[in-house]
């Protein structure tokens, strides 16, 4: 049997190309040079869900990033997840739920105000054929900028002009409190000023809800504190199907599902964040629930399984029909 080496293979294909009269350098189809729309549709019972990609931010991190693990372990975890050594891959996926009666958006993306590699929500909404003005309800999981900035455009105009904006009361109470802002260290002041920029002039359209509230028929909220004091997740039910919308219960699963005990610098109460993460992940794994996470790789939905040391995220298979 002849042995095929890379050299003979290349020589062979070059000879074949020459024989066919083709110039191996000149491609007949120019590269597209741009990405396709970031849209994924699936169903929960009769509800149609549309995952919309806002983009990704490679968040620079330092040895302070994980409070309770040696940095060498963190670097190892990033390498295991094929991430750059000093950056956490942070994708953003928002979710539109069409219940048949209400069009509900859960979290609003970065509004193009966090990284040039994110801010595609409105483009993807349009590509999905969804008019932002048709949204009846916008539900916010918590007040970090990557979840609320998309409420407005860069000129402070409201994007979802006809929607009721529903926010966890505990988030409002924490971030809009002047005493909390004044007590915060200098580097955290912006995190308090930003929700004021977003909400102050539209406060009359904002409804504050308590965990347990049904923000739309079939969409229940659930307290998930730790990441922020009022961080809230949703469970969506239609027919005999359900979906747990985890928000920022964990960031990228290749790091935080595998290391559920890790307390990141952006978790305001690290112990509570870990307890919430394990409680929700245990439930999702035991009940084999479909879950989606705001910072999970697009389309951000799949299942969680329990492993010896943590959890692993198994992404959904792309379906041609929702």
- Residue spans of alpha helices (H) in 260-301: 270-286
Q: Smallest distance from the beta carbon of 295 to Zn ion, in angstroms?
A: 6
Question: Footprint of Zn ion on this chain (CB under 5 A)?
Answer: 144, 146, 248
Based on CB atoms, which residue is closest to Zn ion, 99 or 249? 249
In a 3-state reduction of DSSP, which class is residue 10? helix
Q: Smallest distance from the beta carbon of 231 to Zn ion, in angstroms?
A: 9
What contacts 312, CB < 8 A, 6 or more positions away?
Answer: 253, 257, 258, 304, 305
Q: Smallest distance from the beta carbon of 92 to Zn ion, in angstroms?
A: 7
Based on CB atoms, which residue is closest to Zn ion, 122 or 147? 147
Are 246 and 294 in contact by the 8 Å Cβ rule? The answer is: yes
Q: Smallest distance from the beta carbon of 275 to Zn ion, in angstroms?
A: 19
Are 262 and 68 in contact by the 8 Å Cβ rule? The answer is: yes
Chain centroid, CA 129 distance in Å: 21
Distances from the Cα of 85 to the Cα of 77, 79, 261, angstroms = 9, 6, 20
Based on CB atoms, which residue is closest to Zn ion, 54 or 146? 146
Q: Smallest distance from the beta carbon of 85 to Zn ion, in angstroms?
A: 22
How many Cβ atoms from other residues are within 10 Å of residue 305's Cβ? 14
Based on CB atoms, which residue is closest to Zn ion, 145 or 217? 145
Q: Smallest distance from the beta carbon of 90 to Zn ion, in angstroms?
A: 7
Q: What are phi and psi of 174, to 5 degrees?
A: -75, -50
Burial category of 318 from C-beta neighbours within 10 Å (exposed 0-12, middle 13-18, buried 19 and up): exposed
Answer left, alpha or beta for residue 318, where phi above 0 means left and psi between -120 and 50 means alpha.
Answer: beta
Residue with tokens 């890790």: 262
Based on CB atoms, which residue is closest to Zn ion, 118 or 218? 118
Based on CB atoms, which residue is closest to Zn ion, 171 or 218? 171
């Amino acid at each position: 049997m002849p042995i095929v080496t890379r050299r003979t293979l290349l020589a062979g294909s070059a000879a074949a190309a020459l024989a066919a009269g083709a110039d191996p350098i000149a491609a007949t189809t120019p590269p597209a040079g741009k990405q396709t729309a970031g849209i994924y549709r699936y169903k929960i019972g009769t509800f149609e869900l549309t995952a919309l990609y806002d983009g990704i931010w490679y968040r620079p991190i330092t040895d302070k990033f994980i409070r309770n693990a040696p940095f060498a372990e963190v670097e190892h975890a990033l390498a295991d997840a094929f991430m750059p050594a000093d950056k956490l891959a942070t994708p953003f996926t928002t979710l539109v739920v069409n219940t048949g009666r209400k069009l509900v958006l859960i979290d609003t993306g970065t509004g193009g105000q966090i990284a040039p590699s994110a801010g595609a929500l409105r483009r993807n909404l349009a590509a999905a054929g969804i008019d932002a003005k048709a949204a009846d309800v916008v539900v916010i999981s918590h007040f970090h900028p990557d979840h609320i900035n998309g409420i407005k455009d860069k000129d402070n105009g409201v994007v979802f002009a006809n929607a009721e904006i529903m926010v966890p009361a505990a988030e409002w109470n924490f971030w809009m409190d002047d005493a909390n802002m004044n007590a915060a260290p200098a580097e955290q002041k912006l995190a308090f000023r930003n929700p004021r920029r977003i909400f102050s002039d539209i406060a009359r359209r904002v409804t504050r809800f308590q965990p347990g509230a049904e923000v739309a028929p079939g969409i229940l909220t659930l307290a998930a504190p730790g990441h922020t004091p009022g961080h809230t997740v949703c469970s969506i039910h239609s027919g005999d199907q359900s979906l747990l919308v985890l928000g920022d219960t964990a960031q990228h699963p290749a790091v935080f599902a595998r290391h559920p005990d890790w307390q990141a610098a952006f978790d305001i109460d690290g112990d509570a964040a870990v307890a919430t993460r394990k409680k929700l992940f245990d439930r999702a794994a035991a009940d084999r629930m479909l879950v989606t996470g705001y910072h999970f790789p697009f389309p951000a939905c799949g299942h969680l399984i329990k492993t010896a040391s943590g959890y692993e995220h198994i992404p959904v298979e792309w379906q041609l029909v929702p």
